[in-house]
Chains A and B, each alone.
Chain A
């Protein structure tokens, strides 16, 4: 059975001059601390730099005998790392930077979602074609389609407003869509932007 030495014990050993103790502490908390820093800065190289500065500070504090044993070792190290992250952003006077990657692109947030002139024309054409075809549907189907698509009403609301059961409203919607598809095919209309 492997008995893990407590952080506080390793700190004590290091202060007494055992260099292997600091190696054990660094390796023990390497992943956790690196992950913590990386989550704040989002940059591998910068993470490495801050990790290094953090442990340099830890080493200096322990060697100077200025470490307060009352607190826990890892939260103390995390606090040092956190302060160094803040120092970094203060020095560079900016907020955390996000890299443009396949999974995240800043331009997807900043992009203009308005359609360009060509796409706007196509959209208007599709809307008018669709409206013309909806007018060719039987009146009860027109009514359900309009309530569902244009007024965003639920089938419960549609059934209440038209005095029919939900199943009937659903059926009318289904036939409206089937008929619309037939009309699209019959008129050779392309409904894509």
Chain B
């Protein structure tokens, strides 16, 4: 019977963002601080 399956196994892998990307986002979230002064918002990153 004709082989209908791709040899490129990578195509069937579940696509997900890497754990280091998730870690970066969580650190970014924790470090991000929004301060509001006179109706103006200021972003700061506290590392």
Residues of A at the B interface (CB closer than 8 Å) are 19, 22-23, 26-27, 30-31, 33-35, 38, 44, 47-48, 51-52, 55-56, 59-60, 63-65, 101-103
Interface size on B, residues (CB 8 A): 21
CA distance A103 to B5 in the complex (A): 10
Residue from A51, A63, A103 in contact with B11 in the complex, judged by beta carbons closer than 8 Å:
A103
Residues A103 and B6 in contact, CB atoms below 8 Å apart = yes
CA distance A27 to B29 in the complex (A): 14
Would you list the 4 A-B pairs with minimal beta carbon distance, nearest first? Answer: A51-B17, A34-B15, A59-B29, A55-B25
Q: Which residues of B lie under 8 Å from residue A23 when comparing CB positions? A: 22, 26
Task: Write the chain B residue with the least CB distance to A63.
Answer: B34
Residues of B at the A interface (CB closer than 8 Å) are 6-8, 11, 14-18, 21-22, 24-26, 28-30, 32, 34, 41, 43
CA distance A138 to B25 in the complex (A): 80
Question: By DSSP majority rule, is chain B's interface helix, strand, loop, or mixed?
Answer: mixed
Residues B29 and A38 in contact, CB atoms below 8 Å apart = no
Closest Cβ of chain B to A69, distance in Å, is 18
CA distance A31 to B17 in the complex (A): 7
**A59-B32, A60-B32, A101-B8 are contacts. A22–B14 as well, Cβ < 8 Å?**
no
CA distance A35 to B12 in the complex (A): 12
Q: Which residues of A lie under 8 Å from residue B7 when comparing CB positions? A: 102-103
Q: Which residues of B lie under 8 Å from residue A27 when comparing CB positions? A: 22
Residues B26 and A52 in contact, CB atoms below 8 Å apart = no
Residue from A31, A38, A63, A102 in contact with B32 in the complex, judged by beta carbons closer than 8 Å:
A63
**A23-B26, A26-B22, A60-B43 are contacts. A31–B15 as well, Cβ < 8 Å?**
yes
